[in-house]
């Protein structure tokens, strides 16, 4: 799942997938803003079939957090 999330983020943010790992911070390291989060979550929903409720978004701080959430909620 981590590879899928990395691929989505790399494509969305136009960065090298190799620059992303499970400890990469979404906001601090990747500069993800609220619009990026919405786009990322829409892509994850399309790709993985997992919806992330608004109240869970604040808990997703790293790429690994996102991957873990998707895995646990498939």
Q: Which of 33, 46, 55, 65 is catalytic?
A: 33
Residues ≥6 apart with Cβ < 8 Å to 11: none
Please give the backbone phi and psi of residue 7, each rounded to the nearest 5 degrees, phi first.
-65, -45
Q: How far apart are CA 31 and CA 1, in angstroms?
A: 22
33 catalytic residue (yes or no): yes
Question: Which residues have a catalytic role annotated?
Answer: 33
């Amino acid at each position: 799942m981590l590879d899928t999330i990395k691929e989505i983020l790399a494509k969305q943010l136009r960065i090298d997938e190799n620059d992303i790992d499970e400890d990469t911070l979404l906001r601090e390291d990747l500069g993800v803003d609220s619009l990026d989060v919405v786009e990322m979550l829409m892509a994850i929903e399309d790709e993985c079939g997992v919806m992330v409720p608004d109240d869970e978004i604040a808990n997703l701080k790293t790429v690994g957090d996102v991957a873990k959430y998707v895995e646990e909620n498939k």
